[in-house]
């Protein structure tokens, strides 16, 4: 029988002497998901470091003081587990999935690669070509590339608007010492969360992590992980505030067969209570459901697009909301009008109670289904605890959604969906 959210015990949390925070939540399966979330992403790069956070993520698998690249890759796979990572704008997360009897192995490996990597130049010279292939593949896809260009417009050249992948010419210039400087500055235990989602006792978790940290420290020539955190080295230290938002309208000629269009604006941080109203509005407009207003208008009724979607992104101190669609170049103006018409409908009048309740029911169902993915739950738990020092509580989220009123949503729609507040970017 599956546990309901109200039956789930609260996660165990603690802070180790080195400053690393630990969060451990039980699950009803013997498969364990765990990882290390690092408070370091593209936003934390210096001006001459663009692409380094993501490049560092790749290189973290290429050798430590204790292990060569092959030993790292084989360590979890030889017991049927896996090892993965991703880089975001405000975090980098390394994680593994495995059967619970292999937790000590996973804890040892994760702490070793995150805190003990050597970033050998020979491996960098090979891996840079892999990342450049990734960049070129991305550049060949205007439907993906336009999101980066749009985010840069929304954040007016701020580091949040930078491409996570960086530029090929700059990546080829990075040396092992550049990566080491980046990680020494940002890959500190007091900027990390070790998260565990699985059927393991918290005391066993803390014991194995402590042992793993001691083994890493013993392998390091000059780093002392057991020391108390440096003053002022906590989360988000030194991040540049975002500049004031100014709407723009830009058309770029890319010689694409299809026109690609984005419409959007600066929005709310995850801490802003208004972000939940936008979350619901976004789902109504262009969420994953085929019954979204934009899909019904542009695709089902008029047959103008194959894909139309809206999305929102929240960061620790700001956010973004946008609509994307691709269409025949001759249909751009008409599609724009239809999008703006739907935005105006929401800004002009509050939702009816019937429409509001239907929207709440739909999004709560989507959230519930997403919580059926152990990997998704684990990663969300690690990221939330890293940035906000709290565990994500699905029942608390449901309660907040239930409390939203038509007036709440209408106020957000009136603020964000005004045409004069929107940025437009078109690829032709």
Q: What is the C-alpha separation between 147 and 133, in angstroms, rounded?
A: 19
Burial class (CB in 10 A: 0-12, 13-18, 19+), 240: exposed
Confirm if 243 and 309 have CB atoms less than 8 A apart.
no
Q: What is the pLDDT of residue 221?
A: 80
Q: What is the C-alpha separation between 123 and 408, in angstroms, rounded?
A: 53
Q: What is the C-alpha separation between 171 and 175, in angstroms, rounded?
A: 9
Q: What is the pLDDT of residue 371?
A: 87
Residue 14 pairs in a beta bridge with 22
Residue whose entry in the numeric block shows the structure tokens 């360590």 = 75
- Over residues 158-192, the pLDDT tens digits come to 999 999 999 999 999 999 999 999 999 999 999 99
Q: What is the pLDDT of residue 226?
A: 57
Of 6 and 210, which is predicted with more confidence?
Answer: 210
Residue in 328, 233, 344, 320 with CA at minimum distance from that of residue 270: 320
- Over residues 208-262, the pLDDT tens digits come to 999 999 999 999 886 666 555 554 444 555 789 999 999 999 999 998 899 999 9
If pLDDT is split at 50, 70 and 90, which confidence band does 5 have? very low
- Over residues 257-284, the pLDDT tens digits come to 999 999 999 999 999 999 999 999 999 9
What is the pLDDT of the chain when averaged over all its residues?
A: 94
* Domain annotation for the chain: domains and CATH numbers: 10-219 (3.30.830.10), 249-427 (3.30.830.10)
Residue whose entry in the numeric block shows the structure tokens 């070129």 = 136
Lowest-confidence segment of 64-68, 246-250, 285-289 by average pLDDT: 285-289
Q: Take residue 5 and report the two structure tokens written for it.
A: 């959210």
Radius of gyration of the chain (CA): 23
Residue in 420, 341, 144, 340 with CA at minimum distance from that of residue 260: 144
Over residues 337-342, the mean pLDDT reads 98
- DSSP assignment of 305-359, as one string? EEEEEEEEEE-SS-EEEEEEEEE-GGGHHHHHHHHHHHHHHHHHSPPPHHHHHHH
- CA 220 to chain CA mean position, Å: 30
- Over residues 355-412, the pLDDT tens digits come to 999 999 999 999 999 988 999 999 999 999 999 999 988 999 999 999 999 999 999 9
Over residues 299-326, the mean pLDDT reads 97
pLDDT of residue 67 exceeding 50, the answer is yes
Phi, psi of 381 (to 5 degrees): -60, -45
């Amino acid at each position: 029988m599956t546990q309901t959210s109200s039956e789930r015990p609260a996660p165990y949390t603690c802070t180790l002497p080195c400053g690393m925070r630990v969060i451990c939540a039980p699950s009803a399966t013997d498969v364990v998901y765990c990882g290390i979330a690092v408070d370091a992403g593209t936003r934390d790069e210096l001006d001459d470091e663009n692409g380094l956070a993501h490049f560092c993520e790749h290189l973290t698998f290429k050798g430590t003081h204790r292990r060569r690249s092959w030993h790292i890759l084989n360590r979890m796979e030889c017991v049927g587990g896996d090892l993965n990572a991703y880089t975001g704008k405000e975090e980098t997360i390394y994680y593994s999935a495995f059967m619970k009897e292999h937790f000590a192995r996973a804890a040892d490996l994760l702490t070793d690669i995150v805190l003990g990597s050597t970033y050998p130049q020979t491996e960098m010279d090979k891996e840079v070509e892999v990342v450049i292939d990734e960049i070129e593949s991305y550049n060949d896809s205007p439907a993906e590339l336009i999101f980066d260009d749009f985010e840069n417009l929304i954040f007016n050249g701020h580091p949040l608007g930078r491409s996570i992948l960086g530029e090929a010419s700059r990546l080829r210039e990075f040396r092992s010492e550049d990566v080491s400087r980046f990680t020494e500055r940002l890959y500190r235990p007091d900027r990390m969360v070790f998260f565990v989602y699985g059927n393991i006792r918290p005391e066993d978790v803390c014991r194995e992590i402590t042992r793993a940290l001691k083994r890493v420290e013993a392998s390091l020539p000059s780093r002392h992980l057991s020391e108390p955190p440096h003053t002022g080295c906590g989360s988000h230290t030194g991040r540049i505030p975002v500049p004031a938002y100014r709407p723009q309208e830009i058309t770029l000629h890319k010689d694409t067969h299809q026109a690609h269009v984005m419409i959007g604006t600066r929005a709310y941080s995850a801490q802003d209570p208004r972000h939940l109203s936008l979350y619901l509005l976004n789902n109504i407009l262009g969420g994953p459901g085929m019954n979204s207003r934009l899909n019904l208008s542009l695709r089902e009724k008029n047959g103008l697009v194959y894909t139309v979607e809206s999305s929102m992104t929240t960061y620790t101190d700001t956010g973004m909301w946008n609509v994307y669609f691709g269409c025949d170049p001759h249909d751009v103006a008409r599609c724009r009008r239809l999008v703006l018409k739907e935005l105006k409908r929401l800004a002009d009048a509050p939702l009816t109670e019937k429409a509001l309740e239907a929207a709440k029911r739909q999004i709560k169902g989507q959230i519930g289904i997403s919580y059926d993915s152990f990997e998704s739950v684990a990663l969300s738990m690690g990221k939330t605890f890293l940035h906000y020092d709290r565990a994500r509580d699905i029942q608390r989220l449901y309660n907040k959604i239930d409390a939203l009123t038509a007036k709440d949503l209408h106020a957000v729609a009136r603020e964000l969906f005004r045409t004069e507040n929107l940025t437009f970017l078109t690829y032709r």
